Amino acid sequence: MAATFDVIVVGAGYIGCAAAAELAVAGLRTLLIERGEIGAGASRANYGNVQAQDAELTHSLPLTLAGLSRFPALEEQLGASVGYRRLGSLLLIETAAQWQTMAARLPILRAAGIAAELAPAERLPEIEPLLDPQTVLGACYHPHEGQVDPFALLWACLRRGRAHGLTVRAHTQALELEIAQGRVAGVRTAQGLFSAGAVVLTTGAWTNQLGRQMGRAWPIQHVRGQALVTEASALRLNNHIASAAFFEDIENTAGGAVLAISQTARGHFLLGEAAYPDPDMSQRAEPDGMRAIAAVATRFFPALGALRALRTWAAPVASTPDGLPCLGAVEGLPGLYIATGFKSTVIVTPVVGELIVNLILGRPSAIDLSPFRPDRRIDHAHRP
């Protein structure tokens, strides 16, 4: 007989771990299944930055703010250290067009209560001494962001969930959804059928693999994001740093890289990012991508040229054409929910589980989720 749960969460990245934990805390018998190890998808590949800098401004600010506000008390809530530390961020500006794009965001961010300013190049040595200020016109500076240890956060969520009865099964791939009488009834895996009245797909870039079996295609796309980590160094970054070019059309940077640099609390530099289109869901870091990353990082931060790279990696990272997440119930298939494609995922992790609990229990949501409906129509000319 199939093991029976109230809810099955498919995919143990940030979103799946957070959702599964909150569902268990809410008293629902919850199973979390993951095809690989915990965090086997994009969540093993990231820097752990809590970033409001790239927030989508039309509908996502309430979500971004709700997440950001949770971090100072998150470790207390989880009863575990997740390596949270406060950091600022810089978006480096190289062109007049980027300056205009950043300037246009400022009033909206500030009105929402997110501190942000445009710093000309002359001010940058004070904010980020490692940066060569001659390489930029300036930067958009967000002084109040942060960073966590990605794996510590995933495991803290799971421990909290398990303390409330959460069942976790790694190496258990959802092969197809079980549908009965027009609604979702469970998940089929190679290890057997698991029954549940509700299923939440937190499957990131893989979500449409399951969707296609049901004739569904949600607006989820992905790139293969690639990065490398250096040996630990006594050099210190004050901020996590990316290029304002991320706000431009950079999906097809095969052979190139756009600056995204951060440092772990132990002093290792995390250098990225080369993003390749990737229909095959490959997890291979390409040598030309690594060379491009090293070139772009040392152009802005010459001192990093003396460091050795320790490890490279790549992972498929989900996004949507309109920059809004897919978060909500699937139309026409009661019991199925999707939560993926967040523009910045770490920042929403403390709040997304509660939103999913409310969806499943039919409770009102403090945040308007209607713009995030997975089955929304997207004008493909629209860019966030």
Ligand X SMILES: Cc1cc2nc3c(=O)[nH]c(=O)nc-3n(C[C@H](O)[C@H](O)[C@H](O)COP(=O)(O)OP(=O)(O)OC[C@H]3O[C@@H](n4cnc5c(N)ncnc54)[C@H](O)[C@@H]3O)c2cc1C
371 binds ligand X (CB under 6 A): no
Pairwise CA distance, residues 133 & 380, whole Å? 37
173 binds ligand X (CB under 6 A): yes
Which residue in the set 344, 352, 355, 374 belongs to the binding site for ligand X (CB under 6 A)? 344
Nearest approach, Cβ of 299 to ligand X (angstroms)? Answer: 18
* C-alpha closest to that of 121 among 141, 97, 99, 137: 137
The DSSP H or E segment spanning 225 is strand 221-232
40 binds ligand X (CB under 6 A): yes
Pairwise CA distance, residues 137 & 124, whole Å? 10
36 binds ligand X (CB under 6 A): yes
Which residue in the set 290, 346, 352, 357 belongs to the binding site for ligand X (CB under 6 A)? 346
Pairwise CA distance, residues 116 & 338, whole Å? 32
35 binds ligand X (CB under 6 A): yes
Beta carbons of 352 and 305 less than 8 angstroms apart: no
Phi-psi region of 204 (alpha: psi -120 to 50; beta: other; left: phi over 0): left
338 binds ligand X (CB under 6 A): no
Which residue in the set 9, 23, 24, 33 belongs to the binding site for ligand X (CB under 6 A)? 33
Which residue in the set 31, 317, 355, 359 belongs to the binding site for ligand X (CB under 6 A)? 317
Beta carbons of 210 and 199 less than 8 angstroms apart: no
312 binds ligand X (CB under 6 A): no
The DSSP H or E segment spanning 261 is strand 260-263
x-or-dash pattern for ligand X, window 272-301, by CB under 6 A? Answer: xx----------------------------
Pairing between β-strand 85-93 and β-strand 183-189 as defined by DSSP bridges: unpaired
Which residues, numbered 11-30, are part of the site for ligand X (CB under 6 A)? Answer: 11-16
By beta-carbon distance, which residue lies closest to ligand X?
Answer: 13
Residues that bind ligand X (CB under 6 A): 10-16, 33-36, 40-43, 45-49, 51, 173-174, 202-206, 210, 225, 227, 272-273, 315, 317, 340, 344-347
